[in-house]
Chain A
Amino acid sequence: MIKLEPRGERSRAMAYLSPVLAALLTMLTGLILFTLLGVDPVEALITILYVPISDTHGLAELCVKTAPILLCAIGLSVAFKAKIWNIGAEGQLLMGGLFGSYIALQFIEVEAFWVLPAVLIAGVVGGIVWSGIAAVLKVRFNTNEILTTIMMNYIALNILLWAVHGPLKDPDGYNFPESALFGDSALLPILVEDTRVHFGMALALLAVVAVWVLMSRSFYGFQIKVMGMDAGAARLSGFKEKRLTYFALLLSGGLAGLAGVGEVTGPIGQLIPQISPGYGYAAIIVAFLGRLHPVGILLASLLMALLYMGGEMAQISLGLPLALTGLFQGMLLFYLLACDVLISFRIRLKSKKLKPSPPLPPLASETQG
């Protein structure tokens, strides 16, 4: 019989190994799945994991896709460290895109250096407003943030749809639900020539460094960690729970908003209904997979971006459904959670039968009476 036995102390090695193990198990399951579907499994894996990044163009696109996921995930990691379950990165991202687009469209004819910063700030504000609502509800009204942030995702999506079908629709756009193309001064500069790699990736990397300093060096980050691990201890030490909650939620919302505005001012260049193929949800997986650690999250974001590209590639060249990406994302998270058990437990093979006692000493009762 297989038995789980507590290790006594958390294993650091397993904490880092578990995501790797989860990725391998996901791949293995993928191999089996492809075989069942009648697709050459090795070819499929190459198509998904290698072909998309086999040239410079592919690598550049990987960066383009990584940026929004990374921004969302690095923000979420702060909230998750505080055990604040912000599931609303998707909605916050959409609102960032919407707010930013609104400003960009207002100044569509203006050519000035301040347009882009204004647009970016508007995007951040959009994300902050959206997560701020959940923050106020949590702090003031004790409302479960999981449910509110999820609901806010649906609300954000519908507001975005309303905007592109109504007030922000391009008047010259043949009635497509899209905004006009933004002016050049509202677009993010390209970082690497002849690619779509834009300034958003730099911002994302900056955010990673900033969050790393915050969480591992600053006392504020320490307080956030304590609050997440042990709210009682945080309260007893006088850490300001409400302020920390606001901070964590607003930071993650702001970064998700930045991700959203980065998409509309970067690779997309206008407001459309499909800003995000679920980057905000993918970021949740990335945050867990990256162990809520900046470096881990960076690596996990790259993997997740690759998964998006691989899904598209598999659709094009193998005729597999695009939903493959979502399926793999879900599996990855499941395997991760399952493998995480090995951090605190070790596997033991154990016989079920009770062993007899070693040599029997004389019964104490024989001396009695």
Chain B
Amino acid sequence: MDIDLITNILYAMIRTGTPLLIVALGELICEKSGVLNLGQEGMMLMGAVIGFIVTLLSGSLLLGFMLAIIAGVLMSLIFGLITMELSANQVATGLALTIFGTGLSAFIGSDYVGKPIEGLDPIFISGLTDLPIIGRMLFGQDLVVYLSFILFAAAYWFVNYSRPGLVLKAVGENPHAANAIGLPVFKTRYLAIMFGGAMAGLAGGYLSLAYTPLWAENMTAGRGWIALALVVFASWKVGRVLLGAWLFGLASILHLVFQGLGFSVSPNLLAILPYLATVVVLVILSSNQARSRLVAPMSLGNPFYAKG
């Protein structure tokens, strides 16, 4: 393997891991509040299709990204309304969100399949980008990748050091106790759900505006689900999400590695790798039952219904 190949692989690893990182951060915050939203895939698809159409029609990437985020938030609000106001089952509602998002995005985007747009360009930082091996990986990416670094740092600080982060954890552990001492359970959960939606929308937009600047039905290809697994992989710790996302990024571009090494394997079989890796990771991390009880937010998936 030569230097160029390694440089490219590292570059592609971060790039591929970025949407996963963004979605997983959103879902992690959401789960910290005790809400399990399985609708990531649906929200991402909506972000992707809306972002794409807006950019195609307006020519503005910024507008595209902004509306992708708004689309994600709106989708998450449907989830929020049904699970919070109507105390419906979170698992079923999340599934519904994914099915609905898949259908709606395909419906909206059916006229736009295969149309080209000018995608988001990488930003080169003179001097740094040309560094061997890590140059392109860290300093030759596009704006959203850099934004994901910032989001990661902000989420890390928020969860571990801020007072609202403390409230978030408290609500996720025991919403009834939180309500009893006067913490705003509903508000906290709504905000967490909306943040999750915003991140999914952004990640979806990234896919259709930067990663592969086009729209195709179901183009997220399970990334929303992988992000859910990532949160488990990270044991609900922000720090580990970064590592996990990049590792999954690597698993998704292994065909590059194989090509580089001169192997020829069926592309269909190679496409299995990220999903297989997800299953393996889940198995390793879930097998210790006692441990998983300690790390997951205790009220995860349980509806909260305030009496009175």
Taking the complex as a whole, does A directly touch B, i.e. does some CB pair lie under 8 Å apart?
yes
Interfacial residues, chain A to chain B (CB-CB below 8 A): 4, 85, 87, 137, 140-144, 146-148, 150-152, 154-155, 158-159, 161-162, 165-166, 281, 284-285, 288, 321-331, 333-334, 337-338, 340-341
Cβ-neighbour of A323 out of B42, B78, B106, B222 (below 8 A): B106
Docked-complex contact A337 and B93, CB < 8 angstroms: yes
Once A142-B289, A147-B229, A162-B268 are accepted as A-B contacts, the answer to whether A154 and B86 lie under 8 Å apart by CB is: no
Q: Which residues from chain B contact A165 at a C-beta distance below 8 Å? A: 266, 268
Cα–Cα distance between A141 and B279 once the two chains are bound (Å)? 11
Does B91 sit within 8 A of A, measured CB to CB?
Answer: yes
Docked-complex contact A137 and B279, CB < 8 angstroms: yes
Q: What are some 25 contacts across the A-B interface (CB < 8 A)?
A: A137-B282, A141-B287, A143-B279, A143-B283, A147-B225, A147-B228, A150-B222, A152-B279, A155-B272, A155-B275, A159-B272, A161-B268, A165-B266, A284-B95, A285-B99, A321-B111, A322-B110, A325-B103, A326-B102, A327-B103, A329-B103, A330-B102, A334-B78, A334-B82, A338-B86
Once A141-B287, A143-B282, A341-B86 are accepted as A-B contacts, the answer to whether A327 and B107 lie under 8 Å apart by CB is: yes
Does B58 sit within 8 A of A, measured CB to CB?
Answer: no
Docked-complex contact A162 and B106, CB < 8 angstroms: no
Q: Which residues from chain B contact A158 at a C-beta distance below 8 Å? A: 268-269, 271-272, 275
Does B104 sit within 8 A of A, measured CB to CB?
Answer: yes
Cβ-neighbour of B89 out of A147, A324, A337 (below 8 A): A337
What is the minimal beta-carbon distance from B22 to any residue of chain A, in angstroms? 19
Q: Which residues from chain B contact A326 at a C-beta distance below 8 Å? A: 99, 102-104, 106-107
Once A151-B225, A154-B275, A334-B82 are accepted as A-B contacts, the answer to whether A323 and B99 lie under 8 Å apart by CB is: no
Docked-complex contact B289 and A151, CB < 8 angstroms: no
Give B276-293 interface residues, CB cut-off 8 Å to A.
276, 278-279, 282-283, 286-287, 289, 292
Once A142-B286, A151-B222, A340-B88 are accepted as A-B contacts, the answer to whether A334 and B106 lie under 8 Å apart by CB is: no
What is the minimal beta-carbon distance from A28 to any residue of chain B, in angstroms? 16
Once A150-B222, A151-B275, A152-B279 are accepted as A-B contacts, the answer to whether A330 and B86 lie under 8 Å apart by CB is: no
Cα–Cα distance between A165 and B279 once the two chains are bound (Å)? 25
What is the minimal beta-carbon distance from A30 to any residue of chain B, in angstroms? 12
Q: Which residues from chain B contact A159 at a C-beta distance below 8 Å? A: 268-269, 272
What is the minimal beta-carbon distance from A305 to any residue of chain B, in angstroms? 16
> Chain B residue with minimal CB distance to A177?
B268
